[in-house]
Amino acid sequence: MPPGRASDSPVQPAPMTPPPGSGFAVMQAILGRRRPSRIPYGPNYWQWFTHHRNHGVLPPELAGCASQLEMMQRLGLDVFSRNAYCDPQRCWFGGLATEVYDGVEFEEHSFASGHDLVTERHWHTRRGDLTERVRYVFAGSTLVQEKFVIGDPEADRAAFGELVNARRWRFNAALWRVWQARVGDGGLVNAGELFSPLKLLHLAAGADQAVLMLEDYPEECRAWMDRHEAAQLELVDQMLAAGVPVMTAMDNLDSAFHPPRYVEAYSASFYEGASRRCHERGGQFFIHACGRQRAILKQIAGYGVDGLEGVAFPPLGDVELDEAMTLAGDRLIITGGISAAEFERLHTRAQVFTYVQDLVRRMTPHAHRFVLSASCATPYTAPWPMLQHFHDAWREFGNLA
């Protein structure tokens, strides 16, 4: 549950006036719903890069790259990343905000387990102790949950209520500026630090047990979610005060786990509140959306949300991207276009070029609201030549001038 760790590398000053056509300028056009000079391409290489670096198999073209950000800069790609600064061995998201507690003791430690890294988090409350454990599986370069904070709702929910009531977040504005300075005119750091009240239960207990808890303990769950929403909106205010232009709730907005009724009952107030705060102070609010969104696109747009990050399409999702643009109204920004499935079904440079050309053709009418990206992540099994083919195809077809 706690946010991840981020490196505090030395600041590299960002240019005051980004050149036309730069990643920053193109993303500013998209955020302003203006047609850019080209389609921005900001793939998510988080897992892919970490795997190849840790296993010592980075291709020669990426020799010396120490981070996903350096890889993207080496390739001349655009940055619109909510995980450029995250530590993938300890967290799925976060790293710019620190959890603080009033009356609850918190401790975290990590230890090696073979090649894996195990991280345990412990909370000591007046109503009992809680533990969470995650494992970074070295062989697959992925983080898995081994123990949820709430294992037995009957035994753990009193202590969890204490945890939620005691918790706040403190945003590290200086660290955000460090990372935005490192990105420079290459784009924007999307601060992926938030999660909705419904996601609170998913992260604490797992999605299946969260549903049972909502049925068995509705009043307690509502109290937890209300307290969490208030604390998260305080974090939104902190980020806006620091000048953060765009932020993301890391909710994995799949309608299988966020059906319309649940979204309206448990998350709508948070989405509306975060969106309103952002709009009042010049910011924009996104939601991570890797999954099926057809049933909730209009609903989410109606809350004032600015964009969905990582929209999936068939076979992993249930709506084509150009259709999603129409269903979502006239202002919702959508990022995506390359899913794990493309790395399985496309095998040649010609196939990749055909795919990207058709995608650009379909998305050009919506180019003022589209960012070509990964629909969640680039699988670590993706061959390096395929990444190059997608890069080259974007160079070939992404110019809108």
State the chain's mean pLDDT as an integer. 94
pLDDT for 13? 35
Q: Using an 8 Å Cβ cutoff, are 311 and 336 in contact?
A: yes
| Residue 109 bridge partners (DSSP) | 120
The values of phi and psi at residue 3, to 5°, are -65, 160
Q: What is the mean pLDDT of residues 262-287?
A: 98
**pLDDT band per the 50, 70, 90 thresholds, residue 18:** low
Strand 97-101 to 167-171 pairing: antiparallel
Q: Using an 8 Å Cβ cutoff, are 360 and 398 in contact?
A: yes
Which of 14-18, 58-62, 89-93, 266-270 is predicted least confidently? 14-18
Per-residue pLDDT at 173 exceeds 60: yes
Per-residue pLDDT at 14 exceeds 70: no
The model's pTM is 0.94
pLDDT digits (tens, 9 = 90+) for 326-377: 999 999 999 999 999 999 999 999 999 999 999 999 999 999 999 999 988 8
**pLDDT band per the 50, 70, 90 thresholds, residue 9:** very low
pLDDT for 375? 84
The structure tokens 């160079």 sit at 395
Helix/strand/coil (H, E, C) string of the chain? CCCCCCCCCCCCCCCCCCCCCCHHHHHHHHHCCCCCCECCECCCCHHHHHHHHHCCCCCHHHCCCCCHHHHHHHHCCCEEECCCCCCCCCCCCCCCEEEEECCCEEEEEEEEECCEEEEEEEEEECCEEEEEEEEEECCCCEEEEEECCCCCHHHHHHHHHHHHHHEEEEECHHHHHHHHHHHHHHEEECEEEECCHHHHHHHHHCHHHHHHHHHHCHHHHHHHHHHHHHHHHHHHHHHHHCCCCEEEECCCCCCCCCCHHHHHHHHHHHHHHHHHHHHHCCCEEEEECCCCCHHHHHHHHHCCCCEEEEECCCCCCCCCHHHHHHHCCCCCEEEEEECCCHHHHCCCHHHHHHHHHHHHHHHHHHHHHEEEEECCCCCCCCCHHHHHHHHHHHHHHCECC
Q: What is the mean pLDDT of residues 249-261?
A: 94
pLDDT for 139? 97
Among 219, 295, 281, 217, CA closest to 244: 281
pLDDT digits (tens, 9 = 90+) for 33-50: 999 999 999 999 999 999
Q: What is the mean pLDDT of residues 121-135?
A: 98
Return the percentage of the chain with pLDDT > 90, whole number.
Answer: 93
pLDDT for 7? 43
d(Cα 203, Cα 148) in Å, to the nearest integer? Answer: 8
pLDDT for 75? 96
Q: What is the mean pLDDT of residues 175-193?
A: 97
Q: Which domains does the chain have, with CATH numbers?
A: 23-97+168-397 (3.20.20.210)
pLDDT digits (tens, 9 = 90+) for 275-319: 999 999 999 999 999 889 999 999 999 999 999 999 999 999 999
57-61: which pairs have CB atoms within 8 A and are 24 or more residues apart? Answer: 59/384, 61/384
d(Cα 242, Cα 178) in Å, to the nearest integer? Answer: 12
pLDDT for 19? 66
